Amino acid sequence: MLMPAVELHVHLEGTLEPELIFALAERNDVELPYTDLDDLRSRYSFTDLQSFLDLYYANMTVLRTAADFADLTNAYLARAAEAGVRHAEVFLDIQAHTGRGIPAAEVLAGVTGALGASEREHGLTSGLIVTFLRHLPGSEALAALEEILALDVPLLGVGLCSTELTSHASEFAPAFDLARANGLRLVAHAGEEGPPQNVTDVLDILKVERVDHGVRAMEDPAVVERLVRERVPLTVCPLSNVRLRVVDTIADHPLRAMLDAGLVVTVNSDDPAYFGGYVDENLRQVTEALDLGPQELTTLARNGVAAAFVDDARRQELS
């Protein structure tokens, strides 16, 4: 199968597999509220985004040291390499860790150490995008970015995730303005559970260069027309959308309609440890359910390369 060479929408904490949760709990003496692996796995059934986020944040308590974050990152990189990924841009919810007392420097030492060795150790290039949590105040996003910038670690960009339903994008404009002033690349989740207007807002107010998910943009032809005209990439995550009930089944996924509309869509895994598969499995399932052919698969691969935040030389290599 034609595999896309890049992954642009994956939350590092969403790659935390049940086995690693138990191993890290043991290493760090963290008491888990699950009797065993099967008990934990039985909870991976979600009714909406929030029901997933509750478990996702709870499981992060096992991540405590730089070594834990390095192990998590290396496990993802190894699995991505296996899927044929040659360039990955990974999200990190830094506030979910600093908020429970883990210093940003500890988290970032583990993550950036592993990412910095990704080419040598796993054969893929990578970049880090720190994602602000939309359920927390915009002032905390700004403070988090100020703290990270002072640490002077390698950083590709910033993003925005968590629930779209309880805040306005404008709250995060100061953080995104500071990121832009520091030459960082900008992305945001929008149009996942929220309406098409949220997609317009992150483009106009936060000036993002890519939209994460964006599937609900399909409800507004004017928004679709703009995204096509401006060639704004949308990082779509099919299995995530099914598991979080954004769409009913994989066969109902709008990916083919999005391609047919001329949108610059890519296929990604989001939180693969929770949603039933890494990027290869996402692609396999949409290919089968939507009967995608070589033309669509080539377009998806090309879109990924075009949407990646890489220099011209690397883009050429990935093409």
Q: By the criterion CB under 5 A, which residues form the site for Zn ion?
A: 270
Measure the CA angle with vertex 244, ends 238 and 249; round to 5°: 55
Q: Which of ligand ES4, Zn ion, none is residue 87 near (CB under 5 to 8 Å by kind)?
A: none
Q: Return d(Cα 46, Cα 9) in angstroms, integer.
A: 20
Of 8, 11, 127, 211, which lies in the binding site for ligand ES4, with binding defined by CB under 6 A?
11
Which CB sits closer to Zn ion, 187 or 290?
Answer: 187
Of 271, 273, 280, 297, which lies in the binding site for ligand ES4, with binding defined by CB under 6 A?
271
Establish whether 204 is an annotated binding residue: no
- Contact in structure between 294 and 2 (CB atoms under 8 Å): yes
Of 4, 5, 14, 71, which lies in the binding site for ligand ES4, with binding defined by CB under 6 A?
14
Considering the candidates 7, 192, 193, 296, report the single residue annotated as catalytic: 192
- Contact in structure between 290 and 259 (CB atoms under 8 Å): no
Of 61, 95, 235, 240, which lies in the binding site for ligand ES4, with binding defined by CB under 6 A?
240
* Residues between 52 and 111 that touch ligand ES4 (CB under 6 A): 56
* Residues between 113 and 152 that touch ligand ES4 (CB under 6 A): none
**What are the DSSP E strand ranges found in the chain?**
6-11, 87-92, 125-133, 157-161, 185-190, 210-213, 233-236, 264-267
Q: Which of ligand ES4, Zn ion, none is residue 49 near (CB under 5 to 8 Å by kind)?
A: ligand ES4
**Six token digits for residue 149:** 């910038």
192 touching ligand ES4, by CB under 6 A: yes
Shortest CB 162 distance to ligand ES4, Å: 5
**82 among known catalytic residues:** no
Which CB sits closer to ligand ES4, 64 or 189?
Answer: 189
- CB-based contacts of 90, cutoff 8 Å, min separation 6: 10, 11, 12, 73, 76, 115, 126, 127, 128, 129
Cα distances from 124 to residues 82, 231, 287, in angstroms, run 11, 26, 24
Establish whether 168 is an annotated binding residue: no
Shortest CB 40 distance to ligand ES4, Å: 18
Across the strands, what pairs with 159? 131
Q: Where are the alpha helices (DSSP H) in 42-137?
A: 49-59, 66-82, 94-98, 104-116, 118-122
Establish whether 87 is an annotated binding residue: no
The residue of the chain with the least Cβ separation from Zn ion equals: 270
Is the Cα torsion angle 1, 8, 72, 40 positive or negative in sign? negative
282 touching ligand ES4, by CB under 6 A: no
Which SS3 state, helix, strand or coil, does residue 254 take? coil
Contact residues: ligand ES4, CB under 6 A: 11, 14, 49, 56, 161-162, 189, 192, 240, 244, 270-271
Specify binding-site residues for substrate.
271
Catalytic residues: 192
